[in-house]
Structure 1
Amino acid sequence: MQRRQFLVASGLGFAGMTFGSPTPAVSAAPAPTTPGRKPAKSTILFFLCGGASHMDMWDMKPEAPLEYRGPFQSIQTSAPGVHLSEHLPLLAKQAHHLALVNSVGGTVNTNDHHAGYYYNLTGHIPDLTFVTKGNNRTPQPDDWPYMGSVVASRRPAHPNLPNAISLPHMPSRAPYTRPGQFAARLGVEHDPMYIQGTREEPLKLRGPALSLEGGITADRLTDRISLLEQLDSARRQFDDFASISTMNQHQERALSLLMSAQSTSAFDVQQEKPATLERYGKTINGMSLLVARRLVEVGVPFITVFWKGDLRALGKKCKSAGSWDTHGNNFQCLKEDLLPEFDRAYSALIEDLAERGLIDDTLVLVTSEMGRKPKIGDPRSGGKSGAGRDHWTHCLTDVLAGGGIQGGQTFGASDKHGEYPKDKPVTPADITHTVYHAMGIHDLTAYDKLGRLYFLLDKSRPITELF
């Protein structure tokens, strides 16, 4: 097949057929319900790529020594007892919707990004290959599946769109693609579709299968379907049926996208009022969250927004790849660049969902692959004088809102320096399980290619106290 055909058929913009063959998932059993609570219809995961500093956003330590707490002050919010960084003033007005989990212990064997992504996206502790291969540890077919893929596999197929969509990019730049963001052993048919966007044109979010190009009309595309069917019929005599079945599913999904007006309009933020665009902020991250809200409105079960950094502007300044990996100049980068954009976009999403009556049906989770080291000074950026914070997977804060979550609360606590969970410690596995619980997914069994039963997530529990 030509490259263009393959990209359209996969609907992913990625080598969709390299991640194993389809694995039959067990049909979801009727979910037990909590009295007075309906399962959420959708989840939006906002992933702060790079490792956002819990100490400077959510888990302020005003009594800690200066070399730990830094210069930022905490402020009161709309929720009594919930305090946020002074550089999150817009979000402070929405804190009555938020539940801050300050006791997430996400320790991984490498204390780095690759393993941190994997743990926080799948709920599974990284294996030894993350140590032996480091950043060369690419995604594998037998990896544990991404939480979004699990949700996608347990919901009825959306009539026009994939059940899991990720935007505005696939972390990280090849060949260092982060493990944990794919369906893996669950089967490539449950991989998310990736929608691409750029910082230069934030209002133009595009996927590989959302437009017909080169003079191809819907009628011409329909004519070609019969040819594809004939080719598939011939190939079945020689190829493995499971592979053909997978390819057919990708073709059907791509054709549905190409021929559905709904699939293109959902990504067109220019249909929104100018005031809405301004409220979210006309940045690639703000517009991605706005698209996420639009996808919730059309019934997509799982949407992921991976924060897209600005290497050109922040790489040198923050000693990073332009995202939340603030090895140097942590406080300037947060105050002047990262926090203002995050504050505007994320607060707009929460406010928008609440005003539209969608927040009870939509779970919103903010997480990252790690927190930042509480003691200021990263050797790679000049130590104390560089004012950076190094990697720190041992403690981070996750923030949940909507989907039945009781807002205006702080759950658990870290120690006096913010280094390790102290009260009510939880893990990324517990957070992942909480997402499944909010979505009404309680049957976490599946079968491998040999028909053997396995559990998608164990040694964890949903944090039901949050609901």
Structure 2
Amino acid sequence: MTISRRRLLQVGSLGASLTLSDYLRIASANGAVDSGRSAVLVFLGGGPSHLDTFDMKPNAPAEYRGQFKPIQTAAPGVRICEHLPKLASRADQYAVIRGITHSLADHGLGTRYLMTGNLPTPVVDYPMYGSVVSKEFPAAPELPSFVSIERPVEGPGYLGAEYGPLSTGEKPRYGQPFRVRGITLDGTMTLDRYRRRRSFLKDIDTAFAGYEQLDESVRSLDRFSGQAFQIISSPKARAAFDLSHETDREVDRFGRHEFGQSMLLTTRLIEAGVRFVTVLLEGWDTHQDNFNQLGRELLPNLDQSLAAMLDRFSEQGRLDSTAVLVTGEFGRTPKINNNAGRDHWARAMCSLMAGGNVRGGQTLGETDDKAQGPEGDGFTPDDLAASFFQNIGIDPKTEYQANVGRPITLIRDGATIPGLLA
């Protein structure tokens, strides 16, 4: 029976516990390491209510405006929800973008649109933000360029598998062991044993080198395995994922809840040199009991942890080189339903942007008196993406080769939001 090199590598990888190889993606070997531009995407999965967060309408009828009251922020004329006091006092550090509008009120399609900046199409599989950053600004060899905490939101699309994220497999939880899939060696796999297994795989590579033409998937596996070994054997990489290095004060500042620990991990990864981190705060799909869900947990947790991350980046002088985007996939219905909830609403939503060249302390765009839609043309997810890439330092009109046989423009239709960036 003939055993292909691909199959033997698969068996060898499993035997060597090279689980990181399935999740690690790096930029090409010829890519130069950039000087330090990084980015964070905080994804509010489920679709947060714009009326109950950053686009409040206190003069609308009660069935629209809801239970929460707006409060004044540190930025003149900018008012946000009363359950976001820490962010209110830091409004000079971010811009609120209102009047973002699209038509995809479906979680899957809306997420794909907001995570890629291109209207989904069956013809082209567009890459998410982190994959583009991973390609353009690869991290140092011992670090992953792109990390997604727990699981990926979207994929690398036409850029290829090597630009997908390293997914941690779980979220860090205070007081519990945090094992990053593929980085934390189990009790049976020492670093020395890992080296011996890797040497064995190299012997297999040599034996099969002239036996068959290698396809891209096999070459990618080889690259991932090599990078996996570099990370597992790097104290710097392992330390970046180890929250035990943080003081109680920092743990408390970010919050001992799951999202707080995820944001603390995000901050550590950026500090270590990871280029892009995606962190999820889910639970915003509030079809019922909207105000209790938001007021008791979602808004307080977002307020505490996002403010802590902005503060720490600012204290370190890192905020100017770290672009931050906070967004969901759509907004929610302006009119409250019979279950004290709000349903899907793509005609109006809002996002936050901070760091890099963002002009903080302002709102851009506006919605009508009931937040049903934008005043004027509004902005699109394409515009949001073009602005985010521009802030990171990537031209949104960059062209890449794709499997459709022609160059593909990174952001096809969007334009940078006027006044957002310095």
State the percentage of identical aligned residues. 36
Query: Which of 7, 10, 19 lines up with 1:8 in the alignment?
Result: 19
1:421 aligns with 2:374: yes
Query: Which of 417, 434, 444 lines up with 2:398 in the alignment?
Result: 444
Relative distance call for 1:25 and 1:102 in structure 2 (3 A) is farther
Query: Which of 259, 269, 279 lines up with 2:253 in the alignment?
Result: 279
8 Å Cα contact 2:117-2:381 kept in structure 1:
yes
Q: Aligned residue for 1:238?
A: 212
User: 2-side partners of 1:376 and 1:25: how far apart?
Assistant: 53
Q: Aligned residue for 1:337?
A: 297
* Deviation readout 1:379-412 (Å, 9 max, x if unpaired): xxxxx2x101001122110101111111100001
8 Å Cα contact 2:27-2:145 kept in structure 1:
no
Query: Which of 166, 185, 205 lines up with 2:158 in the alignment?
Result: 185
Relative distance call for 1:4 and 1:92 in structure 2 (3 A) is farther
Partner-residue secondary structure (3-state), 1:462:
coil
Partner-residue secondary structure (3-state), 1:56:
coil
Partner-residue secondary structure (3-state), 2:138:
coil
Question: TM-score with structure 1 length normalisation?
Answer: 0.81
Q: Aligned residue for 1:304?
A: 278
User: 1-side partners of 2:314 and 2:420: how far apart?
Assistant: 18
* Deviation readout 1:343-374 (Å, 9 max, x if unpaired): 11111111121122111111111001111111
How well do the aligned residues superpose, as a CA RMSD in angstroms?
2.6
Displacement after TM superposition at 1:230 (Å): 2.3
User: 1-side partners of 2:20 and 2:246: how far apart?
Assistant: 30
User: 1-side partners of 2:270 and 2:404: how far apart?
Assistant: 36
Q: Aligned residue for 1:115?
A: 109
1:145 aligns with 2:127: yes
Q: Which runs of 5+ in 1 are unaligned?
A: 17-21, 31-38, 130-139, 172-180, 310-322, 378-383
Query: Which of 403, 407, 418 lines up with 1:453 in the alignment?
Result: 407
Query: Which of 381, 394, 417 lines up with 2:347 in the alignment?
Result: 394
Query: Which of 5, 27, 51 lines up with 2:47 in the alignment?
Result: 51
Displacement after TM superposition at 1:332 (Å): 1.0
Structure 1 segments of 4+ aligned residues over 6 angstroms from their partners: 22-28
Give the alignment of 1:56-75 within 5 angstroms.
Answer: 56-75=52-71
* Deviation readout 1:21-74 (Å, 9 max, x if unpaired): x9989979x9xxxxxxxx971111100111111110000001111111111100
Displacement after TM superposition at 1:288 (Å): 1.1
User: 2-side partners of 1:361 and 1:23: how far apart?
Assistant: 20
8 Å Cα contact 2:64-2:336 kept in structure 1:
yes
User: 1-side partners of 2:335 and 2:49: how far apart?
Assistant: 11
1:375 aligns with 2:335: yes
Q: Aligned residue for 1:137?
A: none
User: 2-side partners of 1:261 and 1:371: how far apart?
Assistant: 42
The one-letter amino acid of 2:345's match is W
Displacement after TM superposition at 1:324 (Å): 0.7
Q: Aligned residue for 1:176?
A: none
Partner-residue secondary structure (3-state), 1:463:
coil
Q: Aligned residue for 1:36?
A: none
Displacement after TM superposition at 1:428 (Å): 1.0
Q: Aligned residue for 1:466?
A: 420
The one-letter amino acid of 1:146's match is M
The one-letter amino acid of 2:111's match is Y
The one-letter amino acid of 2:269's match is L
8 Å Cα contact 1:412-1:424 kept in structure 2:
no
Partner-residue secondary structure (3-state), 2:202:
helix
User: 2-side partners of 1:101 and 1:84: how far apart?
Assistant: 12
Q: Aligned residue for 1:19?
A: none
Displacement after TM superposition at 1:168 (Å): 3.0
User: 2-side partners of 1:80 and 1:461: how far apart?
Assistant: 27
User: 2-side partners of 1:444 and 1:5: how far apart?
Assistant: 39
Relative distance call for 1:256 and 1:199 in structure 2 (3 A) is closer
Query: Which of 206, 230, 235 lines up with 1:256 in the alignment?
Result: 230
* Deviation readout 1:274-311 (Å, 9 max, x if unpaired): 1110011011211111111111112211111012x4xx
User: 2-side partners of 1:200 and 1:346: how far apart?
Assistant: 17
* Deviation readout 1:75-109 (Å, 9 max, x if unpaired): 0011111111011111111111110000111322x
